[in-house]
């Protein structure tokens, strides 16, 4: 199985590295077009927890080197740093890894549902860019199906946390009762919606929603009884906020030291808690040095996420069993795919021989009626089918022999096998 993935994730790299590897949705199509120079097909999965490139190696192809070269060339990460934090998975290990991602087992917050949509979006983007063929398409479709099955057949996503809700929980640990808090949510996407909802559920007294456009902020604010503002009003709102959750999909810092220092001069005795769960980060790390400001990022959620994982150990075990079953089914499909080119080549050669020999014979015979000719053609085809029946069955029954049997058949029949993926 020649599936290969190269990536970085929350287990191997800190957010300072992951944010440089992150590929925003707006840039995904362009990145897929750039990937075309390195691989005939590929899918890029980029979330707050990971950036991964999935490819399929063809004959004499070096998928690992190609994917690494792509990342080295197009990411703003020094070569030594990239090699330190990247991992390479191939074959069954790569397949299982993707299945675990789709099921929420590889997430910082076990069971979170958002990642399943992100896997679907990664496949859709690759389809749109015409960068995906049968093997990767089937792999991702199976991963999505497995993710849905795990959520339907286990309780791993029952009352599941999200990164956004855990961010609010972290703030509550620092601040205490959130009932009298004024909270600013930066970003009106799904992460912002979840953060605002979690805050409302915890009784936050006032929620302010900031987005690139006031209209976008208004939709979320109206749904939760909050107030919308534009990004231009951030500093003014910081003057009176107790809590900020930043989760906007921006490629640059939305709050720097100057912004926060300006706000803190207006409220020097009032602490400000900022939880930045965006990747890339929305808040400059140096903000943490400002007096009475408590800055956390997505990696600060580790303690809460580990507790959540321990609480869901039973569901994780059930999910792993489902993944194993789905893995077996996918592997069987893949092995059949491996012998398909040999079977096609065998049938093609047999048909060429049958057709050529039949034409030679027809030239030696008296003129035949259409019915006689059709009967003769049918008879020769039937003979070929019966002769090939055993070799083809032999191939399909021995697909797990690492290509050994296909090589034997190819050599025996002198086949020209084309590996089409």
The pLDDT of residue 400? 60
Which residues lie below 8 Å from residue 11, measured CB to CB, with a gap of 6+? none
Residue whose structure tokens are 């991602």:
101
**Spatial contact of 23 and 77, defined as CB atoms under 8 Å apart:** no
Q: What is the sign of the dihedral through the CA atoms of 383, 386, 391 and 393?
A: positive
Distance CA 200, CA 418 (A): 60
Domains defined for the chain, CATH in brackets: 3-153 (3.30.460.30), 163-307 (3.40.50.720), 341-413 (no CATH)
DSSP one-letter string for 289-324: GSTTEEEEEGGGGHHHHHHHHHHTHHHHHHHHHHHH
Residue 124's pLDDT is what? 98
Report the C-alpha gap between 96 and 84 in whole angstroms. 23
The CA distance from 163 to 191, in Å, is 8
Helix (H, G, I), strand (E, B) or coil at 288: helix
Res 412: pLDDT: 77
Under DSSP, the state recorded for 122 is H
Provide the whole-model pTM.
Answer: 0.82
Those residues whose C-beta lies under 8 Å from the C-beta of residue 223, and which sit 6 or more positions away, are 193
Cβ contact 156:312 at 8 Å: yes
Question: Helix, strand, or coil here: 60?
Answer: coil
Comparing CA positions, the residue from 166, 150, 146, 162 lying closest to residue 113 is 162
**Predicted pLDDT at 1:** 67
Two tokens, residue 188? 């009106």
Q: How would you label 158-183 residue by residue, b for 16+ Cβ within 10 Å and e otherwise? A: eebbbbbbbbbbbbbeeeeebeebbb
Q: Which candidate in 4, 48, 103, 247 is catalytic?
A: 48
Tokens describing residue 255: 């709050």
> To the nearest 10°, the Cα dihedral for 89, 93, 96, 101?
-20
pLDDT tens, N- to C-terminus, the chain (421 residues)? 689 999 999 999 999 999 999 998 889 999 999 999 999 999 999 999 999 999 997 654 578 888 989 998 888 888 899 999 999 999 999 999 999 999 999 999 998 889 999 999 999 999 999 999 989 999 999 999 999 999 999 999 887 788 999 999 999 989 999 999 999 999 999 999 999 999 999 999 999 999 988 889 999 999 988 999 999 999 899 999 999 999 998 989 999 999 999 999 999 999 999 999 999 999 999 999 999 999 999 999 987 778 778 888 899 999 999 999 999 999 888 877 777 778 788 888 888 899 999 999 998 988 889 998 899 989 998 898 888 888 877 777 776 655 677 777 778 778 877 654 4
pLDDT at residue 421, as a whole number: 47
Q: Is 48 a catalytic residue?
A: yes
CA dihedral for 115, 121, 127, 129, sign (positive or negative): negative
The predicted pLDDT at position 302 comes to 83
């Amino acid at each position: 199985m020649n599936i290969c993935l190269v990536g970085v994730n929350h287990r191997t790299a800190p957010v300072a590295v992951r944010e440089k590897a992150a590929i925003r949705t707006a840039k995904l199509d362009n990145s897929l077009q750039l990937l075309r120079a390195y691989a005939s097909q590929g899918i890029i999965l980029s979330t707050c927890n990971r950036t991964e490139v999935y490819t399929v190696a063809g004959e004499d192809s070096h998928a690992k080197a190609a994917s690494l070269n792509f990342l080295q060339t197009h990411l703003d990460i020094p070569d030594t740093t990239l090699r330190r934090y990247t991992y390479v998975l191939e074959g069954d290990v790569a397949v299982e890894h993707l299945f675990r991602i789709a099921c929420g087992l590889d997430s910082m917050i076990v069971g979170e549902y958002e990642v399943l949509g992100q896997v679907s979006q990664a496949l859709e983007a690759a389809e749109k860019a015409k960068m995906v063929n049968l093997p990767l398409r089937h792999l991702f479709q199976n991963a999505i199906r497995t993710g849905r099955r795990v959520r339907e057949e286990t309780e791993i996503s029952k009352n599941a946390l999200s990164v956004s809700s855990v961010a609010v929980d972290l703030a509550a640990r620092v601040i205490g009762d959130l009932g009298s808090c004024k909270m600013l949510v930066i970003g009106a996407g799904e992460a912002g919606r979840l953060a605002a909802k979690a805050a409302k559920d915890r009784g936050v007294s006032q929620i302010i929603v900031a987005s690139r456009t006031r209209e976008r902020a208004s939709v979320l604010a109206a749904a939760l009884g909050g107030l919308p503002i534009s990004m231009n009003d951030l500093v003014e709102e910081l003057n009176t906020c107790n809590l900020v959750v930043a989760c906007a999909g921006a490629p640059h810092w939305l709050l720097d030291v100057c912004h926060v220092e300006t706000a803190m001069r207006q409220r020097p005795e009032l602490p400000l808690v900022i939880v930045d769960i965006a990747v890339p980060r929305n808040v400059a790390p140096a903000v943490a040095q400002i007096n009475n400001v408590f800055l956390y990022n997505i990696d600060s959620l580790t303690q809460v996420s580990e507790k959540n994982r321990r609480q869901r150990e039973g569901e994780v075990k059930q999910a792993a069993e489902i993944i194993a079953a789905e893995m077996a089914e996918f592997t069987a499909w893949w092995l059949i795919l491996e012998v398909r080119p040999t079977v096609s080549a065998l049938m093609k050669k047999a048909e060429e021989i049958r057709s050529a020999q039949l034409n030679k014979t027809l030239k030696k015979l008296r003129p035949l009626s259409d019915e006689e000719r059709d009967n003769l053609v049918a008879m020769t085809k039937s003979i070929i089918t019966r002769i090939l029946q055993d070799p083809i069955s032999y191939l399909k029954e021995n697909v797990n022999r690492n290509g050994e049997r296909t090589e034997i058949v190819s050599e025996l029949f002198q086949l020209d096998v084309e590996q089409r993926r």
